[in-house]
Amino acid sequence: MSVALPIETAAALTDARVLLDRSEPIVAARDVTRRYGSGDTAVDALRGVSLDVHPGELLAVMGPSGSGKSTLMHILAGLDQPTAGTVEIVGRDITRMSDNELTKLRRAHIGFVFQFFNLLPMLTAEENMTLPLRIAGTKVDDAWLATVLGQVGLTDRRTHRPAQLSGGQQQRVAIARALLSRPSVLFADEPTGNLDSTTSGEILEVLRQAVESYGQTTIMVTHDAKAAAIADRILFLADGRVVRELGRSTATEVLDALREVTNR
């Protein structure tokens, strides 16, 4: 299922802007704060989080429930606005962008994988995958489409509707959908949250392959230690702050760190 591409091709497939300076972070957050409500009943979901995500990196964000990890991802992805702080994607400040500018950004630079797949039930797998491109009015490169289909292992199922696919297959369609437009950064929100452990493993392999093959920058929020184990870097959140950072780790090491963070 995995396809290894020569590094030159991989580089050519990444966004041209990033090629200019490969040390520039794709996503940069500074002092992001998110407060809900006001006065006595205010809740601070994030209290000044700063981070950089480098090109070709798979970053995992973990933490106990209430740690603010989902909130952080929503803000990094432009789905939510921070109360304070800035977020830059490919060097552009998304916290000051209008809805139209954000929409354009989503077409070119952002890919999503959701926990509940979020496929359109009346479209085939292939149609679901090409949807973002068609929305943007971009022509679909059939060779690239075939490649991605092969990558996620769904070549035989391209004409099937979501109802005819298993959970794992649906999530693979979702990942293909995100990969097809070659976004600068791919956000994955609990991608294995709705899958059993075997299927989860397959999905994680696909995600990792994308990083290996074409240097797809990926930010993943998860509570699953196995998922975090495929990441290059793992950030741990607690009470709205980054409290721990790990490099490449095994699932066991992740679990230990998580336990320690939770018990603070």
Partner 1 sequence: MTSVALKGLFGRKLRAFLTALAIVLGVAMVSGSYVLTDSIQKAFHTLFSSSYANTDAVITGKKLVDHSSSGNATIPASVLTTVRSQPGVARAAGVISDMSGSNLTAKLYDKHGKIVTGGGNPTMGVGINPGDTEFNPMHLTGGRWAAGAGEVVIDKNAADKYGFSVGDRTRVAVDAGVFPIKIVGIAKYGDVESLGGATFAVFDVRTAQKLFRLGDNFTGISVQAKHGVSAQSLVEGLRTVTPANAQVRTGVAQAAKEEKDVAGFVKYIRYGLVGFGLVALFVGGFVIFNTLAITVSQRTRELATLRTLGASRRQVLRSVVLEALVTGLFASIVGIAAGIGLAVGLSSVFNALGMALPESGLLEPRTILVPLVAGTGLTVVAGLVPALRATQVAPISAVREGSDASHGRGGKAGPVVAAVLGSVALALLAYGFLTHGISVPRRLLALGGGFATLFIALAAIFSRLVRPMVKVIGLPFVRAGRTSGRLAWLNVQRNPGRTASTAAALMIGITLVSFVALFGRSLRNADTDAWKSQVTADYVLTSQNGWDVFPSGAADAGRSVPGVEYVSHVRGDRGRVGRSNAGINGVDPATIGKVVSVQVDGASFASLRGNEAVVKDRFAKANGIHVGDTFTFRGPNGRPTVLRAVGLFKAPKLDSLLSAIVIPNATFDRALPRPHDQYAFVNVRGGVSSATTAALEAAYSRDQIAKLETRSGFAASKSKWLSSMLSTIYVLLALSVIVSLFGIVNTLALAVFERTREIGMLRAVGMTRRQARRMVRHEAMMTSLLGAALGLPVGIGLAALATSGLHSYGLRLSVPLPSLATFVVLSLIVGVLAAVLPARRAGRLNVLAALQYE
How far is the CA of 217 from the CAs of 31, 32, 100, 148, 183, in angstroms? 22, 21, 24, 16, 8
Backbone angles phi, psi at 79, to 5 degrees: -85, -20
Q: Within 10 Å of residue 119's Cβ, how many Cβ atoms?
A: 22
Burial tier of 30 (Cβ tally within 10 Å: 0-12, 13-18, 19+):
middle
DSSP-H helix ranges across the chain: 7-13, 16-20, 69-76, 99-109, 125-136, 142-152, 167-180, 197-214, 225-228, 251-262
**CA neighbours within 13 Å on the CB side: how many for 58?**
23
Number of residues that bind partner 1 (CB under 8 A): 30
From 123, 243, 251, 255, residue interacting with partner 1 (rule: CB under 8 A): 123
Q: Is 132 in the site for partner 1 (CB under 8 A)?
A: yes
Q: Are strands 185-189 and 217-221 parallel, antiparallel or unpaired?
A: parallel
From 56, 72, 112, 179, residue interacting with partner 1 (rule: CB under 8 A): 112
From 1, 42, 120, 146, residue interacting with partner 1 (rule: CB under 8 A): 120
From 5, 13, 97, 131, residue interacting with partner 1 (rule: CB under 8 A): 131
The nearest distance, CB 26 to partner 1, in angstroms, is: 18
Contact 228, 237 (CB under 8 A): no
From 1, 12, 92, 116, residue interacting with partner 1 (rule: CB under 8 A): 116
Q: Choose the binding region for partner 1 from 27-35, 87-95, 96-104, 248-256 (rule: CB under 8 A).
A: 96-104
From 34, 177, 182, 208, residue interacting with partner 1 (rule: CB under 8 A): 177
Q: Is 160 in the site for partner 1 (CB under 8 A)?
A: no
The nearest distance, CB 106 to partner 1, in angstroms, is: 4
Residue (60 or 229) nearer to partner 1, CB:
60
Residue (170 or 209) nearer to partner 1, CB:
170
How far apart CA 65 and CA 71 sit, in angstroms, is 11
Q: Is 74 in the site for partner 1 (CB under 8 A)?
A: yes
CA 136 to chain centre: 20
Token pair listed for 169: 């297959």
How far apart CA 112 and CA 221 sit, in angstroms, is 12
Q: Choose the binding region for partner 1 from 32-40, 83-91, 129-137, 237-245 (rule: CB under 8 A).
A: 129-137
Q: Is 155 in the site for partner 1 (CB under 8 A)?
A: no
Q: Is 144 in the site for partner 1 (CB under 8 A)?
A: no
Q: Is 106 in the site for partner 1 (CB under 8 A)?
A: yes
From 23, 38, 100, 197, residue interacting with partner 1 (rule: CB under 8 A): 100
* Secondary structure (3-state) at 196: coil
Name the site residues for partner 1 (rule: CB under 8 A): 70, 74, 78-80, 99-100, 103-104, 106-107, 110, 112, 114-116, 118, 120-123, 127, 131-132, 134-136, 177, 181, 189
